Amino acid sequence: MSERFPFSIPNGWLQIAYADELGPAGVLPLHYFDRDLVLFRAAAGEVAFGR
């Protein structure tokens, strides 16, 4: 970790994907901030993520 950014995880909102990258009932595995994440969209269109 650099001295410029001493925090392990950024505190705030960061874009991790564009809306068109995830269709209805889609799942997108991601790796950010040294963690494995999953971004998913329900069939009705709601977007959520988990780790």
Residue 27 is predicted with a pLDDT of: 92
Residue 8 is predicted with a pLDDT of: 67
Phi/psi of residue 20, nearest 5 degrees: -75, -5
CB contact at 8 A, 40 and 28: yes
Residue 45 is predicted with a pLDDT of: 84
For the segment 1-51, what is each residue's pLDDT rounded down to a tens digit?
556 666 666 677 878 888 888 888 899 999 987 889 899 998 888 888 776
For the chain, how many structural domains are there in total? 1
Residue 16's CATH number? 2.10.70
Q: Whole domain around residue 14: which residue ranges?
A: 1-51
